[in-house]
Each structure stands twice: as structure tokens, then as C-alpha cells.
């Protein structure tokens, strides 16, 4: 999370995430599923600007007309939850610049909620520890606590139990979003529980060693098959990415974004170009693009070249 502070205004970046591993272990009494997942934050960001409101109002404006700015938005739900927690009539005006594709498995809404908790904690001078904010965030969304981790974590329960990991090197990815939104609930309704869950311990060790080839071999997502049933475009993008011969490729979360895990930055740019993205302005020696698409392919794919966040 990076920030800019001017007077009583605060600006923060909210990163997307990818799941390198996602196993569904079983159905819970509360209707959710028990999961085991390895998530990594990546350098594709939404931007949130916060400004105090002395009248005690909470308002949200977003530059994406397709996103609700009402009480169902996770940003306002997180803000209201924090305000109830401290039992104060605090206000803020929040502007959300949306760059993370929606309903794409990248957890943009959850990241925005976590960033809202961090931003308002600072704007309102509450000085609450991250552990407390993460607990509040778990009441808003299962992925929210992950965004209080350093950048990579092994997550269990609904996803809210977070064990930080320390990758020994940054990872390079190409994200390919087909523009088809998927309902997380509908994908989970179609999932087939395994008789023998896949073990993610080998992937965890590969992450800690920085062994990209081994990471690529051990990528796993139990939700990819039901997502492909709902949206054949996911399978099409997966096959196109796999044909570029990266270290590995996988759908992230409940879809619909598919990513290629690349061996280095130069390979990521090559893969993006093979998909048809206009990435002529990108250099293998530059930092990964942070908050804008690397390019649009002629067939409508939105393609980002990103790195894992530290």
C-alpha cells in the first residue's frame, strides 16, 4: 500500500491479488466453504482518495458507472463497520478510481475495503492496530484480512485466517481478463468437492525458495472447472496463455481472470504481445505497470503485466 497525504486528504493504492493455489475442503454449517489458498498481491491497483467530512457524512463516488456507490459497496460497508466499532460520528468523502476488473477473481472489492479501513484509521486518527482492522474486515468479506499481510499469505477457514509467507523473489505475471463477470456464489454452487484434497505444502516451499518452475508445476484452483462451465471464455483464455509456454497458468479466485506465471519480466512482455496486447511502451528493464492496463487485445481481452508486491 502506497500513500500520499495533503492536509486532511489521504490517497492510497489498493492492490489486486492472484491465487496460486485454491483448494475447497468442504461445506461449512454457515453456508460458506472451508478453503486452503495461497494468495499473492500484485501491482495492479485501485486508487482511493479520502477527505474528512465535518458533518459526519460517509459518501462514496466512483469513476466506474457500473459500480454501485450505495450501502452495498464494500468500501461503505467497511467504513460503517469501523465507525460503529469506535462509536463515533465520524465522516469522510471517498473517491474510488477503479482499475481492477470486477467479478474477475482479483478481489478488488475486498482490497478496497481493507484500504478503506487503513485510510480512515489514519484520517480519523484512531491508531487501531492492523490486527484489529483485519478482524473488522473479516466481517465485511473473507478476503479482506489478506490485504493486511505483507504481500503473500497462506489463508484458511473462509480465507480470513492469514499466515504470512516470505517469497525469496518477486514473481512476474500476465493477467488476462476476458470481460466476462462471474458470480462467486454461482461458481461455488457448482464446485465438486474432492475425495482427496490437493496438498499445497509443496507450493509453499517452492514460493519460499523462489523456484518459479516448481511453482508453475504446482499451481492449482478447484474453482476453475466450474468457472469454465459457466464461462467457456475462461477455458479459451487459459488455453491461449498455456500455448505461450510460461512457467504456468491458472485462473485466479472464482474467475474470470486467468494469469500466466512468467520466468522474468521479459517473458511477461513476450506473453502479453503474443496475446495481442499493445505493450510497445513497456521495457524489460522497467518496473511493472502499476495502475493502468498494459494493453487491450483486438478480441477485447484486458491484459496487465504485473509483479508481485513485497
Positions marked catalytic: 17, 143
* Three-state DSSP state, 186: helix
Rounded to whole angstroms, how far apart are CA atoms 241 and 227? 17
Residue partners of 201: CB distance under 8 A and separation at least 6 = none
Torsion of CA 227, 184, 105, 296, to 10 degrees: 70
Residue partners of 303: CB distance under 8 A and separation at least 6 = 174, 175, 176, 177, 272, 275, 277, 279, 293, 294, 295, 296, 297
CA distance from start to end of the chain: 10
Amino acid at each position: 500500500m502506497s500513500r500520499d497525504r495533503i492536509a486532511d486528504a489521504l490517497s492510497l493504492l489498493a492492490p489486486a491479488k492472484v491465487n496460486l493455489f485454491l483448494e475447497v475442503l468442504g461445506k461449512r454449517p454457515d453456508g460458506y466453504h472451508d478453503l486452503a489458498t495461497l494468495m499473492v498481491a500484485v501491482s495492479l491497483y485501485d486508487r482511493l482518495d479520502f477527505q474528512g467530512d465535518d458533518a459526519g457524512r460517509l459518501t462514496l463516488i466512483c469513476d466506474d458507472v457500473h459500480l454501485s456507490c450505495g450501502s452495498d459497496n464494500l468500501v461503505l460497508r467497511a467504513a460503517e463497520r469501523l465507525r460503529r466499532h469506535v462509536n463515533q460520528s465520524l465522516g469522510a468523502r471517498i473517491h474510488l478510481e477503479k482499475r481492477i476488473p470486477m467479478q474477475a477473481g482479483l478481489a478488488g472489492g475486498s482490497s478496497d475495503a481493507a484500504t478503506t479501513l487503513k485510510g480512515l484509521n489514519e484520517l480519523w486518527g484512531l491508531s487501531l492496530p492492523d490486527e484489529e482492522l483485519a478482524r473488522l474486515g473479516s466481517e465485511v468479506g473473507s478476503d479482506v484480512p489478506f490485504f493486511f499481510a505483507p504481500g503473500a499469505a497462506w489463508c484458511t477457514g473462509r480465507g480470513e485466517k492469514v499466515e504470512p509467507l516470505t517469497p525469496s523473489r518477486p514473481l512476474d505475471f500476465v493477467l488476462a481478463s476476458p470481460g466476462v463477470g462471474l458470480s462467486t456464489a454461482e461458481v461455488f454452487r457448482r464446485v465438486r468437492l474432492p475425495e482427496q484434497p490437493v496438498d499445497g505444502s509443496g507450493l509453499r516451499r517452492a514460493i519460499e525458495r523462489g523456484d518459479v518452475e516448481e511453482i508453475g508445476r504446482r499451481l492449482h484452483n478447484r474453482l476453475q472447472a466450474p468457472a469454465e462451465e459457466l464461462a467457456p471464455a475462461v477455458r479459451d483464455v487459459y488455453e491461449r496463455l498455456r500455448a505461450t509456454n510460461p512457467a504456468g497458468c491458472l485462473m485466479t479466485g472464482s474467475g474470470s481472470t486467468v494469469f500466466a506465471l512468467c520466468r522474468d519480466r521479459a517473458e511477461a512482455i513476450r506473453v502479453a504481445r503474443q496475446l495481442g496486447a499493445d505493450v510497445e511502451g513497456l521495457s524489460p528493464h522497467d518496473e511493472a505497470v502499476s495502475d493502468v492496463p498494459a494493453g487491450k487485445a483486438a478480441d477485447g481481452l484486458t491484459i496487465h503485466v504485473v509483479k508481485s508486491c513485497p
